[in-house]
Amino acid sequence: MTVPQPPQGAAARVAAAQEPPSQDPALGRRLASYPAVRWSTLLVLSHVLLIVVNTAMVITIPLAVRLLVLLRRSPNLSAASAAKRVDLYQRGVMICGRNGPEAVYRFDSTGLRQNIVTPNVYGIRLNTRYAFVLTDPEGRTETLSNLYQDIAELGARLQQEITLAQADSAVAAVRAGQEAPFGPYALRPEGIATPRGLLAWEALERVTVLQGEVRIHARGKRLPFARVGAHKVVNLDCLLRSIARLRPSA
C-alpha cells in the first residue's frame, strides 16, 4: 500500500509544517493533529441565554440542565476537553488528553461507525453534527465529535484509511469461504447476510446510501430487500468497496 498523503485542511494541521515528524513504532509517522476547538463567544452566550430562559420555565428545566452540562464540558470551561487531541498516523490514530496518549486505534483492526445529522428546524438547516465511533478488537470505544477541529475531514480520512487497510482482507476472507462482518450486514461466499435474510450475489442489483440508510436492492424488486440505519453499519466505506469487488458483475 502506498503511503497516503497528509490531508490538506484549511487549518493546515500537518505536524511536519511546525516540527520534525514524530514517529511511533506501531503506527509509523504522524501526519496530522486534530485538536479540540473552542466554542465561539456567540455560541457560549447563546447557551447561557437558553439556560436562563429554560430555567425560568419549570417544564423545560431538564433542557436547561442538559445545556448546562454541555457548556461545562466545552473546551472553554473544561481543561480536560481543551486538552483533547487526535493524532493521525500512517497506520492508525492516537487519542491524547491532558496526561498524554490515552488510546490507540489501528486502521487494520478498528471498527468505525458514523452518525452524521444536519438538523432542519422550520426549514432552516443547522450545523451538521458528527459522531464517529471507533471500536478496537477488545471492545473499547472512543467517540469523535464536533469537539475536534475539522471533524468532517477527520471522519472521511478514517473511513478512507480503514478501507485501505481492511478491504483486501475482507474480500480474501469471503473468497476463502469465510464471513466478513460489518455490523447488521455480513458478506458471505453465497451472498449478503441481512437482518431480513440472505440475498444471493446473483440476485443483488445495487446498494445505496440514502436518507441515513444503507439499502440492499434485489433484482426486479421496487422496494429494498433490506434497509439498515447507516449509523449501525461498521466500516461503511469498506463494506461498499468489498461488495463492488465481490458481486459477479465486478
Q: Which of 22-26, 101-105, 219-223, 238-242 has the lowest mean pLDDT?
A: 22-26
Residue 207 pLDDT: 97
The CATH architecture assigned to 167-246 reads Roll (2.30)
Number of Cβ atoms within 10 Å of the Cβ of 116: 15
Element (H or E) spanning 121, and its range?
Answer: strand 120-121
Nearest CA among 164, 127, 144 for reference residue 5: 164
Grid look-up 480536560 returns 80
Asked if residue 110 lies in contact with residue 136, where contact means CB atoms within 8 angstroms, the answer is yes
pLDDT single digits (tens) 165-200: 999 999 999 999 999 999 999 999 999 999 999 999
Name the residue with higher pLDDT: 10 or 216: 216
3-state secondary structure of 246: helix
Domain spans of the chain?
Answer: 167-246
